[in-house]
Structure 1
């Protein structure tokens, strides 16, 4: 898994151990993601299926894309499509993805890069593997997260952020057995490069077999862990969790993730996405590519899309 890393984790700043007054976050729910296909037919796991949307707030959904080894001619993406009212966050761990949108944003991301697209008032975009990858095939793995926008930001102008792996903040667990990549938000004052409308934190952590991560977490944020690959436990009561499963945590000062001592040869380490944000607590009307506050706003979004108000596909 070539997402950004270092050879010697002891050279990184350490995440502090919880203090005597710090309360562990209990595990409220563990769910298993159903598998399916998106876009032109690439495999996904819908990470947070089965978790109440009110508990996910400010997030709407997250897909794990792959992990898949494509044969020549097999790589697939998505055709041009619209969005309004939220942000898409695409983080690539293995492989390459190209992005282009109707407001001039876009580029190519690979191996730990992130593209952060604020759809705002409306945008058209396309995500595809580059032609050379389609021809030769290869490994593809990443996530796409949908982050809701508060009512006052849903009409904002679209925006695109190109977040390179070299700008991600890197930390290690107290036992130096886990690397913590801060993509957005803050962990103990270490800031990720992503700028967010909704206060939130997004982390990708990799734990060596037998390692434990006790991660301080903003008390105003919810907290979720999704397992990209590997086997481990969550919470101080060590509830089992494995590839394709999510854990929803309750309130507290820190959350705990641990890797089993023995891992499968295909997944020698435990890889998790950890995320949380301050709930928006507004009505949610979600239909297809539009995330609004009311059904009438969703209907209006479809009308505006049909009228060409989201911009035009570049030549």
Structure 2
């Protein structure tokens, strides 16, 4: 880990340090993700389980898929399933996933790629490892994030964005001690390639052992951190967190992450996903693969699914 990197971060554009008048975001909470299984049985950590929804808005949930080193015959995916009312963001750090939907969309995402699927009015969808990975086994690690859509966009036409690893904006912290992969949104005047309906920022940061990074952060966004690997601390108060733990930040204009001097994971660095978004502040009615604004809309989504109005499984 990770797939998209550079040999010399000092050659990258540098992110500016926040100004002296920037308000550091305090740490409100640190939570630990419970482990479980998804789909046909692949292991996940429920990254934001236990985080109050008022702090998550506009995000619904996030699963860390793996990190798991499969033996031959072990890789698993999900069966066909519906979605309506939100966007799924699948970020593959190691390994390969194949996506397909009932509208003819999908594709293959691998080391460092992101697939941004706007479910909108609804579709059927499947995610599977390729046959070659099933036969050989191998390392698999990724994330799936669910981003809510405002009521005005919940019934828009489904679409995909394929964000290849090579298109991600690579940046370095001011002193070169952290590599920042900006997938969507903006930081310090730089923009990632992802196009979002709901304004958000998504970035994967690798912090060298003992290094610290302080990033400017939009004051109208919330701020969340999740550790993919390693250990360190959050905020100027240096609140400890490690693999499988999420951090909720309070209000402010900047956020700080620091890596411990010694890392005891597969990765040499402290690997952290940072997320922020503009809260939608609308009612959320969530049942399984449907995220709507009311129970009546959930009922309608289920009726539409059962009637085949969200699409049908392709025959080949």
Task: Indicate the TM-score class for this superposition, using the shorter chain for normalisation.
Answer: over 0.9
Query: Given the alignment of the two structures, is residue 145 of structure 1 paired with residue 156 of structure 2, yes or no?
Result: no
1:291-306 map, 5 Å = 291-306=291-306
Partner of 2:88: 88
Deviation of the 1:265 alpha carbon = 5.0
CA distance in 2, matches of 1:183, 1:104: 25
Partner of 1:4: 4
Q: Residues 229 and 265 of structure 2 are in contact (CA less than 8 Å); yes or no, is this contact kept in structure 1?
A: no
Partner of 2:17: 17
CA distance in 2, matches of 1:149, 1:4: 29
Q: Residues 13 and 171 of structure 2 are in contact (CA less than 8 Å); yes or no, is this contact kept in structure 1?
A: yes
Query: Given the alignment of the two structures, is residue 50 of structure 1 paired with residue 50 of structure 2, yes or no?
Result: yes
Q: Could you say what secondary structure the match of 2:309 adopts?
A: coil
CA distance in 1, matches of 2:296, 2:17: 49
Partner of 1:155: 155
Partner of 1:122: 122
Partner of 2:190: 190
Cα RMSD of the aligned pairs, angstroms, is: 0.7
Question: How big is each residue's C-alpha offset from its partner over 1:4-63, in whole Å with a ceiling of 9 and x where there is no partner?
Answer: 111111111111122111110000000000000000000000000111111100000000
Question: How big is each residue's C-alpha offset from its partner over 1:152-194, in whole Å with a ceiling of 9 and x where there is no partner?
Answer: 0001000111110111001111120110000011112211111
CA distance in 2, matches of 1:179, 1:104: 36
1:173-188 map, 5 Å = 173-188=173-188
CA distance in 1, matches of 2:183, 2:170: 9
Q: Residues 113 and 164 of structure 1 are in contact (CA less than 8 Å); yes or no, is this contact kept in structure 2?
A: yes
CA distance in 2, matches of 1:97, 1:189: 32
CA distance in 1, matches of 2:264, 2:57: 34
Q: Residues 283 and 294 of structure 1 are in contact (CA less than 8 Å); yes or no, is this contact kept in structure 2?
A: yes
Partner of 1:245: 245
Q: Could you say what secondary structure the match of 1:311 adopts?
A: coil
Runs of 4+ residues deviating >6 angstroms: none
Q: Residues 175 and 212 of structure 1 are in contact (CA less than 8 Å); yes or no, is this contact kept in structure 2?
A: no
Q: Could you say what secondary structure the match of 1:78 adopts?
A: coil
Deviation of the 1:2 alpha carbon = 3.6
Deviation of the 1:256 alpha carbon = 0.2
* Structure 1: runs of 5+ lacking an equivalent: none
Q: Could you say what secondary structure the match of 2:134 adopts?
A: helix
CA distance in 2, matches of 1:95, 1:266: 15
